[in-house]
């Protein structure tokens, strides 16, 4: 093996290394010093670095050294190796006459980055010789560069740091291309079927499995890999693609770092200039849809150069890039995850019950514990329906009509009785003022699930649909045919109800008042039910022109108000019954009287309240993501709780439509605010009419467009007239009952949570101020005057406010969304001196931490937040996370921090996440001492 190393000057020895894509250089020069291999030893060897030209074995480019050695000893380099049974590592590199204190930090850092595992046996020395040649070649190159006056900071490449680093700079994630070479090869064969086995550069993104949004990034990756292999064409064969794939999917962090460096270093000179940094920042921002960072790429490039180019050389090296990548994230991002895994991996995972009987029992028990409020209400409702149906069925079983029409008439009348009850009951869940009063003023919320009022409304609608089907089918398919076919003797008892002349066709039943009202009601119900379905209401069905206007909230709103006609016809239909003539037996109006009167009062209250309490628009702002913010005056006596919502009407859009929106201002503020996202026809038109009176903001004001009220004598914009109605109760208003709350908002679903976050800060601030006031009076030996307290005394606030800790998770798709509540985020971060609220912003357009497409964004984020205290993604003082949260880890962390506590989980957003959050709340409530109560916002 010693002989092999001595012959390195005559052989161009290519050893197999794990550093894919690194340059392998041949070396010529004398060797001195023993190198004895034990199972574990540290030995040194001395190499001479001559001043002649060395040839690079990869690209054949000549590089000359201009270094003149002052003495013979300086012409040698001493390399210390760590040799073990299965590995060899470069420990240090220094001049032969030098000591450890005078080691060149750049060379030492380079040596450490070359540490690799090698194969057992003779391959150890082959790898060692290759490493030594690489170090010698790099030393030669470094010798031609002026030495930096300030030593480069050393990196701690400890086991923990390296372990975290291996998770970073992944070019292919599990979601795009993680299946391996077999999948890539299959796509290659498909894409090159008509190109003679050559893959064009434009198809590279699709072939390796990256998504279309990353096309620019993938093309830059293609160019970097091609530069490394001196490929000048825009096409690859399968062998070349496989080489590309092996480097892309290499698990070696150093290889990934080199690949990333090559992407930035477009001129392949081993240095990264500020312009190249700017280009890669812009590229990464584009791949992650971060438009704001793209616009500020030049500013951020200057920040990185300022941090890393300490000597103002105008460039940075690969070790600087490594330092930036590894320095902060290994503790900030990786630490908490490891701690959670260690502390909770075993404690919070319950063993699966193997006994099927016990497992079924536990499942049933937990289901009842989680849903007992819904179960008793649903059971009571079904019991009433069954009782009414049975009562009417038995009643008609004993009438003469049964002899002619049989069980059909019993079924029709039983279904009709349930219909009357359900048509009355369906109005109660939408009597919002009544429900809000019951929620706020009574204790019924303990046993009645007021949060499910709209879900119960939908369940009753299903009951109405079933009752209508039974009633209509029983009449049309059974009762009427029997009457038409009945003999004269059998028909005789029916003469008082249908006349002396026996009907001969269906037209007799259709032309009567009973028939006309029944048919019209059924048709109107079908229309209302159809457009109330999620497919039509949420525009999930795309109809061709000219039917495009038949979907959306507007159509739902108008068709739902057909109920006014339906109820009128129902009363008429109930008066003109075929088989009942006594007025006191015609009970339809009796069922409907109270609910209809109550609902009419609700609508009258809305009309009066909105006209008596007009609002004045104070500020309008249009934000990225099609969000309109309205700040308006608070009407006198308008009292609300955080988490509640109100209805908004704008006559310039439609004088009849009222739409619900969460209140984003806190109760203690002197204004009302709502944030409205453009999702349908009405919201789109509302944004349009307000945008017409707005202008681009001046100074440091937020928004894309903006308009402000300047006072009575000012030149104020002609704001459209807005009416409000509310407030109305919502699940989130009960957050004060919990000492710990988890607030989750998806996109615009953050609106009720923003109000809660501000309210928590205001309450904590008020309590703190009153405590300070009491302390100052007590220090003077005086009794605190009651009139010095807002609301009488601090105990009033404490009595209704139990929250001591809040976790707010806001998940949004676009970077621009953070502008909606930027001021609130900064205000909370500044005012929350007691660290009561923990804010977490997630931007799902950014690739998960560790992905090469977001690596530079993460580096930039750490730098800018450390220097300026501002997050580059959100533009706030709150640091943003990438991709989607791991909700299980969120629950784990809260369960760990708050043992034996009851946590209120409040969620507002898309229905897709509801099931997961509710299930996790249920699971952790069973498996840990922490109990999670899940609440979902419904509108």
pLDDT tens-digit map of 227-248: 888 888 888 898 888 888 888 8
Which pairing describes strands 272-273 and 659-662: parallel, antiparallel, or unpaired? unpaired
Block residue for tokens 């220090």: 779
pLDDT tens-digit map of 470-494: 998 888 888 788 887 777 777 777 7
Nearest to 340 by CA among 894, 922, 841: 894
Q: Where in the chain is the domain with CATH 3.40.50.80?
A: 734-781+794-844+884-936
pLDDT band at 796 (very low <50, low <70, confident <90, very high): low
pLDDT tens-digit map of 392-436: 999 888 887 777 788 888 998 999 999 999 999 999 999 988 998
Instruction: Return the higher-pLDDT residue of 385 and 710.
Output: 385
pLDDT at 741: 93
Mean pLDDT (the chain, rounded): 76
Q: d(Cα 778, Cα 95) in Å, to the nearest integer?
A: 73
pLDDT band at 265 (very low <50, low <70, confident <90, very high): confident
Query: Average pLDDT in the 278-300 region?
Result: 85
pLDDT at 90: 53
Query: Average pLDDT in the 244-256 region?
Result: 79
- Quote helix, strand, coil % in the chain, to nearest 5: 55, 15, 35
Q: Where in the chain is the domain with CATH 1.10.238.10?
A: 170-249
Q: Where in the chain is the domain with CATH 2.40.30.10?
A: 613-728
Query: Average pLDDT in the 559-571 region?
Result: 91
pLDDT tens-digit map of 400-409: 777 778 888 8
pLDDT at 89: 52
Instruction: Classify burial at 126, counting beta carbons within 10 Å of its beta carbon; exposed 0-12, middle 13-18, buried 19 or more.
Output: buried
Q: What are the residues whose beta carbons fall under 8 Å from the beta carbon of 419, sequence distance 6 or more?
A: 464, 467, 468, 471
pLDDT greater than 80 at residue 81: no
- Region for 230 from its dihedrals, namely left if φ exceeds 0, alpha if ψ lies in -120 to 50, beta otherwise: left
Structure tokens at 199: 């893959």
> How many helices (H) and strands (E) are present in the chain, helices listed first?
36, 24
pLDDT at 344: 54
pLDDT at 587: 86
pLDDT tens-digit map of 859-904: 888 888 888 888 888 888 888 888 888 899 899 889 888 888 899 9
pLDDT greater than 90 at residue 462: yes
Task: Tell me the β-bridge partners of 728.
Answer: 645
pLDDT band at 443 (very low <50, low <70, confident <90, very high): confident
Handedness of CA 223, 226, 232, 234 (dihedral sign): negative
State the CB neighbour count (10 A cutoff) for residue 434.
16
pLDDT greater than 70 at residue 103: no
Angle subtended at Cα 736 by Cα 658 and Cα 803, rounded to the nearest 5 degrees? 140
Q: Which CATH architecture has domain 734-781+794-844+884-936?
A: 3-Layer(aba) Sandwich (3.40)
Instruction: Return the higher-pLDDT residue of 509 and 740.
Output: 740
Task: Tell me the β-bridge partners of 343.
Answer: none
pLDDT band at 534 (very low <50, low <70, confident <90, very high): confident
pLDDT band at 632 (very low <50, low <70, confident <90, very high): very high
pLDDT band at 252 (very low <50, low <70, confident <90, very high): confident
- CATH number for the domain formed by residue range(s) 170-249: 1.10.238.10
Query: Average pLDDT in the 154-180 region?
Result: 50
DSSP states of 130-181 as a string? HHHHHHHHHHHHHHTSPPPSSPPPPP---HHHHHHHTTS-BSS-TTTTTT-H
Q: Which fold has domain 613-728?
A: Elongation Factor Tu (Ef-tu); domain 3 (2.40.30)
pLDDT band at 33 (very low <50, low <70, confident <90, very high): very low
pLDDT at 932: 93
Query: Average pLDDT in the 502-522 region?
Result: 83
Q: If residue 675 lies in a helix (H) or strand (E), which one and from where to where?
A: strand 671-677
pLDDT greater than 50 at residue 147: no
pLDDT at 849: 73
Query: Average pLDDT in the 715-720 region?
Result: 83
pLDDT greater than 60 at residue 535: yes
pLDDT tens-digit map of 800-857: 677 888 999 999 988 888 888 888 888 888 877 777 888 999 998 888 777 777 877 8
pLDDT band at 343 (very low <50, low <70, confident <90, very high): low
CA 3 from chain center: how many Å? 62
Q: d(Cα 772, Cα 150) in Å, to the nearest integer?
A: 51
What Å distances lie between residue 878 and 154, 490, 839, 870, CA to CA? 30, 83, 7, 7
Highest mean pLDDT (candidates 101-115, 157-171, 907-921): 907-921
pLDDT at 939: 60
Instruction: Return the higher-pLDDT residue of 703 and 809.
Output: 809
Query: Average pLDDT in the 774-786 region?
Result: 66
pLDDT band at 169 (very low <50, low <70, confident <90, very high): low
Q: What are the residues whose beta carbons fall under 8 Å from the beta carbon of 532, sequence distance 6 or more?
A: 461, 556, 559, 560
Structure tokens at 500: 């002396």
Query: Average pLDDT in the 443-456 region?
Result: 88
pLDDT at 521: 93
Instruction: Return the higher-pLDDT residue of 129 and 747.
Output: 747
What is the gyration radius of the CA atoms in the chain, in angstroms? 38
């Amino acid at each position: 093996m010693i002989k092999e190393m001595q012959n390195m000057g005559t052989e161009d020895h290519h050893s197999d290394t794990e550093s894919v894509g690194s340059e392998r250089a041949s070396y010529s020069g004398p060797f001195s010093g023993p190198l004895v291999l034990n199972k574990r030893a540290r030995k040194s060897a001395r190499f001479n670095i001559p001043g002649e030209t060395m040839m690079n074995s990869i690209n054949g480019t000549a590089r000359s050294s201009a270094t003149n050695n002052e003495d013979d000893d300086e012409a040698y380099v001493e390399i210390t190796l760590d040799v073990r049974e299965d590995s060899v590592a470069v420990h240090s590199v220094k001049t032969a006459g030098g000591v450890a204190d005078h080691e060149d930090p750049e060379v030492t850092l380079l040596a450490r980055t070359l540490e690799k595992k090698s194969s057992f046996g003779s391959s150890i020395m082959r790898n060692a010789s290759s490493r030594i040649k690489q170090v010698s070649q790099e030393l030669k190159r470094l010798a031609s560069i002026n030495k930096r006056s300030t030593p480069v900071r050393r990196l701690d490449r400890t086991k923990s740091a390296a372990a975290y680093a291996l998770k970073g700079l992944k070019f292919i994630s599990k979601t795009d291309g993680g299946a391996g070479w077999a999948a890539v090869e299959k796509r290659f064969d498909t894409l090159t079927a008509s190109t003679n086995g050559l893959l064009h550069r434009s198809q590279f993104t699709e072939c390796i499995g990256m998504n279309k949004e990353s096309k620019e990034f993938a093309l830059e990756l293609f160019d970097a890999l091609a530069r490394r292999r001196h490929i000048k064409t825009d096409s690859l064969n399968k062998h070349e693609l496989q080489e590309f794939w092996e480097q892309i999917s290499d698990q070696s962090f150093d290889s990934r770092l080199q690949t990333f460096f090559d992407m930035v270093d477009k001129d392949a000179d081993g240095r990264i200039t500020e312009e190249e940094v700017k280009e890669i920042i812009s590229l990464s921002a584009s791949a992650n849809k971060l438009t704001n960072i793209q616009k500020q790429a030049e500013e951020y490039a200057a920040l990185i150069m300022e941090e890393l180019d300490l000597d103002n050389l105008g460039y940075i090296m690969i070790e600087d890039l490594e330092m930036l990548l590894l320095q902060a994230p290994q503790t900030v991002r990786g630490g908490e995850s490891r701690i959670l895994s260690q502390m909770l991996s075993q404690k919070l995972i319950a063993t699966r019950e193997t006994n099927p009987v016990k497992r079924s029992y536990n499942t049933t028990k937990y289901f009842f514990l989680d849903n007992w409020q819904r179960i008793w209400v649903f059971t009571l409702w079904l019991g009433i329906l069954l009782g009414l149906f049975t009562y009417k069925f038995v009643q008609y079983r004993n009438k003469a009509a049964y002899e002619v029409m049989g069980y059909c008439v019993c079924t029709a009348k039983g279904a009709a009785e349930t219909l009357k009850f359900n048509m009355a009951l369906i109005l109660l869940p939408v009597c919002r003022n009544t429900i809000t009063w019951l929620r706020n003023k009574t204790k019924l919320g303990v046993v009645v699930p007021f949060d499910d009022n709209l879900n119960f409304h939908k369940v009753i609608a299903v009951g109405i649909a079933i009752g209508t089907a039974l009633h209509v089918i029983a009449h049309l398919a059974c009762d009427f045919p029997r009457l038409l076919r009945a003999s004269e003797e059998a028909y005789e008892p029916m003469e008082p109800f249908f006349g002396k002349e026996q009907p001969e066709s269906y037209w007799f039943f259709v032309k009567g008042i009973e028939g006309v009202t029944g048919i019209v009601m059924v048709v109107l119900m079908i229309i209302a039910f159809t457009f109330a379905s999620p497919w039509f209401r949420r525009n999930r069905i795309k109809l061709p022109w000219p039917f495009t206007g038949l979907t959306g909230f507007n159509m739902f709103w108008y068709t739902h108000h057909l109920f006014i006609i339906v109820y009128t016809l129902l009363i008429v239909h109930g008066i003109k019954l075929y088989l009942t003539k006594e007025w006191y037996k015609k009970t339809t109006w009796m069922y409907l009287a109270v609910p209809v009167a109550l609902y009419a009062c609700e609508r009258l209250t809305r009309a009066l309240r909105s006209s008596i309490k007009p609002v004045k628009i104070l500020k309008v702002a249009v934000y990225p993501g099609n969000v309109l913010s309205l700040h308006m005056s608070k009407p006198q006596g308008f009292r609300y709780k955080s988490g509640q919502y109100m209805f908004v009407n704008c006559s310039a859009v439609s004088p009849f439509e009222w739409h619900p929106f969460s209140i984003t201002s806190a109760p203690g503020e002197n204004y009302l605010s709502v944030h409205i996202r453009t999702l349908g026809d009405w919201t789109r038109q509302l944004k349009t009419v307000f945008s017409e009176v707005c202008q681009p903001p001046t100074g440091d004001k937020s928004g894309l467009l903006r308009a402000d009220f300047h006072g009575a004598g000012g030149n104020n914009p002609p704001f459209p007239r807005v009416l409000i109605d509310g407030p109305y109760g919502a699940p989130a208003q009960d957050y004060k009952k919990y000492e710990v709350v988890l607030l989750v908002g998806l996109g615009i679903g953050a609106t009720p949570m923003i109000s809660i976050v501000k309210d928590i800060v205001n309450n904590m601030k008020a309590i703190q101020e009153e405590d300070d006031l009491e302390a100052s009076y007590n220090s003077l030996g005086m009794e605190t005057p009651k009139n010095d307290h807002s609301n009488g005394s601090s105990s009033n606030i404490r009595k209704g406010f139990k929250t001591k800790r809040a976790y707010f998770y806001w998940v949004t798709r676009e970077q621009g969304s953070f502008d909606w509540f930027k001021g609130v985020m900064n205000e909370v971060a500044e005012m929350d001196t007691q660290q009561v609220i923990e804010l977490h912003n997630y931007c799902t357009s950014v690739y998960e931490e560790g992905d090469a497409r977001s690596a530079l964004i993460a580096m930039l984020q750490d730098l800018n937040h450390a220097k300026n205290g501002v997050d580059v993604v959100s533009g706030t003082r709150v640091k943003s996370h990438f991709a989607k949260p791991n909700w299980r880890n969120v629950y784990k962390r809260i369960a760990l921090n708050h043992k034996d506590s009851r946590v209120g989980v409040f969620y507002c957003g898309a229905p897709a996440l509801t099931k997961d959050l509710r299930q996790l709340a249920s699971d952790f409530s069973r498996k840990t001492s922490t109990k999670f109560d899940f609440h979902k916002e419904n509108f």
